[in-house]
Structure 1
């Protein structure tokens, strides 16, 4: 009898592990008293742990979404996978029984109710694979809340001004390894900047190298640059005035994602975020963290 019960228990566990994670609908979120906000782990200044406490601009926005819904904020930490499609699959609509975000290696994967920092781009949203199937058909990307762009900062004691990328034929610049700026600087302009480009595991480490005098400038996402300038607290390090010829898309809008079947939650969240933007509170969140804020194209277009 015990053997039969054990076999039934094991079979039940196997079946449980085989079940996909289920996205919670709007009524479930409200009834539970909390909303899971999907945030990239160790992604300062957007979302990270500061002495064990969630911090960053996306954390602050997530808290306001929760407040607007009348529920508690709960972070759902995302460890990046190979690409964004994997992140959306693992955290928004399907999940995986091996939860990389949990201390328990075999814990069932929990899905985020809302995922932050997702490109708000129609072309990407409706991208098709080689068979013609929409890659992200299980996901709705909505609610643009910020426009991001590439930015450069330099040491004014080494370079008097950066109005063109041509200066980096003669001056060194630090970038994050395997980033778009890395590819741009090492492959563009017939390779004339390649030998002056230095690679680091992260933008903060590149900025620290500039402070030590190892490189004359750094390039990365604007919010990352803004945070490092704020932490440095010195007007010695300044923002470049230049664009990036030949780079392609230099700015892009960011929004959120939910599972396609949970549009009611999306409408409610979108209403909260829209209110934050139109009231100016969103810009205040960014400035309070020492970051520049730029309206997404949707709001810039409607304002004109």
Structure 2
């Protein structure tokens, strides 16, 4: 006899809770003994982390492999589907685990904003929201970017160009909200929303929009794949955009500072040797030093 759906869910709840409670953070010595570094990266997020022909690819994937090799380990990947917030991702992959993956958390997570205000964020009762996480290792500076098709829009002298030219954005993204509100909402009528940045970019190539606004890394990758010299980067600024550029780093559990210290040393070598910049160039991306390293130059 089939149990009612609600009863099934109630019976499963203790098992789901138990699975989450059993997630165990591995000490550094256990990682070394296993020969494996478990790294959490976002799935379906080219050029940073994605799977092609069953193989992991992307800048973050390659960086994780280099870091693991430097520690004498092999990188093993846990693929993340973004939660409602970064807090969710840190909880599910760094310190608590997820009921769909009981007993397993990552040793290291990539593509975490390296931001003091976020690290010190407090919850509703005044406690650190991510007290069980150490955010460290800035390795890239990311920016918002506009790419335009010079055949229909020869130049973008300012964001005001999109009073008359259609621009594509990913739905519910920062560019979506920004273009809908900047200049008193004057650009909203010419802002076209798509399910993904790739679909917005494809629409530009098809002549449906004249430009796209998205993450610089994503657009660099798409331009490199398109092999079209008429797709140009706009070099204008974005007035009233709160965070036009920010640093990207890593995260480990707060008990794994030995791991974060070891990775910091490997990362510093990759940055100063120029190897990290070459890694980005291999995917057609421009590399910009995080502010942490700019201050030490």
Q: Is TM more than 0.5 here?
A: yes
DSSP-derived class of the 1:86 partner: helix
Q: How far 1:38 sits from its partner (Å)?
A: 0.8
* Matching residue of 2:290: 296
Q: Look up the match of 2:30.
A: 28
Question: Once structures 1 and 2 are overlaid, which stretch shifts more, 14-23 or 130-139?
Answer: 14-23
Q: Is the 8 A contact 1:20 1:96 kept in 2?
A: no
Is contact 2:20–2:97 with CA below 8 Å preserved after alignment? Answer: no
Deviation at 1:205, TM superposition (A): 0.8
What's 2:281 paired with?
Answer: 287
Aligned residues: 285
Secondary structure of 2:143 counterpart: strand
Q: In the alignment, does 2:40 pair up with 1:38? A: yes
- Corresponding position: 1:259 with 2:253: yes
Deviation string for 1:198-253 (max 9, x for gaps)?
01111111010000000000000000010111011011100001110011110000
Q: Aligned match of 1:132 in 120, 123, 126?
A: 126
Matches of 2:153 and 2:144 in 1, distance apart? 19
SS at match of 1:188: helix
Matched, 1:175 2:159: no
2:49 equivalent among 6, 31, 47: 47
Give the structure 1 partner of residue 6 of structure 2: none
In the alignment, which of 235, 246, 264 is matched to residue 270 of structure 1? 264
Q: Which residue of 2 aligns with 1:70?
A: 72
Deviation at 1:13, TM superposition (A): 7.4
Deviation at 1:23, TM superposition (A): 1.0
Query: Are 1:153 and 1:225, in contact at CA under 8 Å, matched by a contact in 2?
Result: yes
CA deviations 1:115-168 (Å, max 9, x no partner) are 000000111101112321110110000000000000000000111111200100
TM superposition shift of 1:17: 3.0
CA–CA separation in structure 2 for the residues paired with 1:252 and 1:281: 21
Q: Alignment partner of 2:32: what SS?
A: helix
Aligned to 1:193: 187
CA distance in 1, matches of 2:259, 2:218: 30
Question: Within 5 Å, which residues of 2 pair with 1:10-25?
Answer: 17=19, 19-25=21-27
Question: Match for residue 211 of structure 1?
Answer: 205
- Cα distance in structure 1, aligned partners of 2:171 and 2:121: 27
Instruction: Look up the match of 1:231.
Output: 225
Supply the distance in 2 between the matched residues of 1:19 and 1:134 (Cα, whole angstroms).
21
Q: Distance in 2 between matches of 1:243 and 1:27?
A: 47
In the TM superposition, residue 41 of structure 1 has moved relative to its aligned partner by 0.7
- Whether the aligned pair in 1 keeps the contact of 2:40 and 2:77 (CA below 8 Å) is yes
Q: CA deviation at 1:60?
A: 0.4
SS of the residue corresponding to residue 98 of structure 2 reads coil
Any idea what the Cα deviations from partners look like across 1:67-96, whole Å, max 9, x if unmatched? 001011101111111100010001001112
- Give distance in 2, aligned partners of 1:254 and 1:13: 36
Taking the aligned partners of 1:76 and 1:222, their CA distance within structure 2 comes to 25
Q: Is 2:234 aligned against 1:240?
A: yes
In 2, distance between residues paired with 1:224 and 1:156? 19
Q: How many angstroms apart in 2 are the aligned matches of 1:134 and 1:14?
A: 26
The runs of at least 4 consecutive aligned structure 1 residues that moved more than 6 Å come to: 12-15
